[in-house]
Amino acid sequence: MGRDLAIDLGTANTLVFVTGRGIVLNEPTVIALNRENGQVLAMGQEAYRMIGRTPGYIVAERPLRRGAITDFEVTERYIRLILERVGVRKRVPRPRVLICVPSAITEVERRAVQEATMAAGAREAYLIEEPVAAAIGAGLPISEPIGNLVVDIGGGTSEVAVLSMGGVVVNKGIRIGGFDIDEAVARHIRKEYAIVVGERTAEQIKIAIGSAFPLAEEEKAEIKGRDLAAGLPKIVHITSEEIREAIEDPVRQIVDAVVAALSATPPELAQDILSHGIALTGGGGLLRGLEARLAQECDVPVHVASRPLECVVLGAGKCVASFNEVKDLFVSSSSK
């Protein structure tokens, strides 16, 4: 089954794992279209560079928001481009595809992802929930009678799951992620400094000085944006304390979801988690201080996985490699 694929179709980034080859694609989940004729101009990193920089007839958009399809046709075209990019052609046997989806999305949204994948050229499409794949990718022993807690923070959703004996015991999914943190940064700058910054600038500020816990040495950053009153370019300086306060609401919701999952965990499994700690995965897990914040509020050790951005697709890739043995972990399946 060398043609089988695993796709982490994330709100922020798309990663593809091909059996026998490993991760072959890691690009932003963005597609650029010409509105006048519907032509696809770019995808991935090339399209991401166009966000906020295109004329009116060209739109660079994310086909998924909060883990769900916003435009079925655009998503189908995007997935088709992904399959073509990794070497899938109609003239060769079509692959089985395993798609990672957030546990927070609805059954209708899951079916839409599955149908879009089938329409894009997959022979069969299967789904696996992101926290399950993340736990496998992080190397947690989920098949053993041991409590494992994984926190996977993506661009549009955050997933908290307790797994044991190959199944999910507790699952808390919320539609809050890295993009919500970016939006909180942009909102604060607009409110306090009357400056408009774009999605990419807000993300860069978050990465540069954002944190969920006080830093040993607080930092400052220079921000360039458009003044709301004059409409002219303007430069201001902002501190890491300000950004931490600005992003407190989305960070608090993520922390509360972890606390809620721990509260719902059976005592025996909770003891295991106290011993082995919490595994933090996903791009949102790289927010500075989040590890310390969770450890303080949950009173449980927290460690960031060795490859947090790739954990989900690596876990799904392991599932594809041993397809029949782990089929019970899949949410549902569909085939033509």
How is 116-139 classified by DSSP, letter by letter? HHHHTT-SEEEEEEHHHHHHHHTT
Of 104, 111, 113, 238, which is closest to residue 177 (Cα–Cα)? 104
Q: What's residue 332's pLDDT?
A: 59
- Token pair of 65, please? 């928001």
Task: Sort strands 148-153 and 158-164 into parallel, antiparallel or unpaired.
Answer: antiparallel
Of 244, 228, 252, which is closest to residue 174 (Cα–Cα)? 252
d(CA 100, CA 110): 10
Q: What's residue 90's pLDDT?
A: 55
CA distances from 131 to 81, 200, 265 (A): 26, 27, 16
Task: Check if the beta carbon of residue 88 is closer than 8 Å to that of residue 18.
Answer: no
| Residue 51 phi, psi dihedral angles, 5° rounding | -55, 125
Question: Tens of pLDDT along the chain (336 residues)?
Answer: 457 899 998 888 999 999 888 999 999 999 998 888 888 889 999 998 887 777 888 888 888 877 677 778 888 888 888 888 887 765 467 888 999 988 877 888 888 889 888 888 888 899 999 999 999 999 999 999 999 999 999 998 999 999 999 889 999 999 999 999 999 999 999 999 999 998 889 999 999 999 999 999 999 999 988 898 888 999 999 999 999 999 999 999 999 999 999 999 999 999 999 999 999 999 999 999 999 999 999 999 999 999 999 999 999 999 998 888 888 888 854 444
Q: What's residue 325's pLDDT?
A: 82
Q: Which domains, from first to last, does the chain contain?
A: 5-132+311-335 (3.30.420.40), 140-176+249-304 (3.30.420.40), 178-246 (3.90.640.10)
Task: Check if the beta carbon of residue 199 is closer than 8 Å to that of residue 184.
Answer: no
Q: What's residue 208's pLDDT?
A: 96
Cβ contacts of 70 within 8 Å, gap of 6 or more = 62, 63, 64
d(CA 218, CA 226): 26
d(CA 75, CA 14): 12
Q: What is the dihedral of CA 229, 230, 232, 238, to 10 degrees?
A: -40
Element (H, E) at 171: strand 167-174
| Residue 148 phi, psi dihedral angles, 5° rounding | -125, 130
Query: Which stretches of the chain are DSSP H helices?
Result: 44-48, 72-85, 107-119, 130-137, 178-193, 199-209, 240-246, 248-263, 267-276, 290-298, 311-321
- The number of helices, as runs of H, and strands, as runs of E, in the chain is 11, 19
DSSP state of 328: G
Q: What's residue 7's pLDDT?
A: 95
d(CA 185, CA 206): 7
d(CA 134, CA 315): 6
Q: What's residue 174's pLDDT?
A: 93
